[in-house]
């Protein structure tokens, strides 16, 4: 029941794409797609490395990186002209992972009305639509070039 209600109100919050390309090829392609879409990579969190450093066991095929991206002028505008609370939505993350011998890309795609409910005092819907569109384009551009 909980799953049904979640799908009814939220839809699919996680956008996932699967490609046959090698993990490192996808990472390189993502870096180029991020830059060509006016964003910059702020950080890459390598969970495989983190887990190994903490002596946590991972499978031979385990690869998982969280790539955090930002467009400085867009985030500056959101924080200075809309609300400091917008920072909870920043930076945007794209996950690259290996599962079942395939590489996946994921990002959170909140529907604009969901974001507007989070920030009822701001007309955030146009910005939310634009950002979600850019995230889709970055992932599409990544897949096209691998």
- pTM, two decimal places: 0.89
Rounded Cα gap, residues 75 and 42, in angstroms = 12
pLDDT of residue 112: 82
pLDDT of residue 146: 94
Give 62-77 pLDDT, tens digit per residue. Answer: 999 999 999 999 999 9
pLDDT by residue for the chain (146 residues), tens only, comes to 666 666 665 567 899 999 999 999 999 999 999 999 999 999 999 999 999 999 999 988 899 999 999 999 999 999 999 999 999 999 999 999 998 889 999 999 888 888 888 899 998 899 889 999 999 999 999 999 99
Which DSSP string do the residues of 47-105 spell out, in sequence order?
HHHHHHHTT----TT--EEEEEEE-HHHHHHIIIII-GGGGGG-SEEEEEEEETTEEEE
Homologous superfamily of the 11-144 domain (CATH): TT1751-like domain (3.30.310.70)
Classified as helix, coil or strand, 38 is coil
Rounded Cα gap, residues 61 and 23, in angstroms = 10
């Amino acid at each position: 029941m909980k799953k049904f209600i979640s799908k009814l109100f939220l839809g699919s919050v996680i956008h996932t794409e699967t490609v046959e390309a090698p993990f490192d090829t996808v990472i390189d392609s993502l870096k180029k797609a991020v830059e060509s879409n006016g964003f910059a990579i702020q950080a890459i969190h390598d969970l495989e490395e983190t887990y190994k450093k903490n002596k946590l066991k991972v499978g031979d095929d385990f690869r998982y990186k969280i790539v955090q991206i930002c467009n400085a002028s867009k985030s500056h505008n959101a924080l200075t002209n809309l609300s400091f609370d917008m920072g909870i939505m920043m930076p945007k993350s794209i996950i690259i992972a290996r599962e079942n011998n395939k590489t996946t890309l994921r990002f959170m795609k909140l529907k604009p009305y969901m974001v507007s409910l989070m920030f009822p005092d701001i007309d955030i819907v146009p910005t939310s639509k634009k950002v979600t569109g850019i995230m889709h384009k970055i992932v599409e551009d990544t897949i096209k070039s691998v």
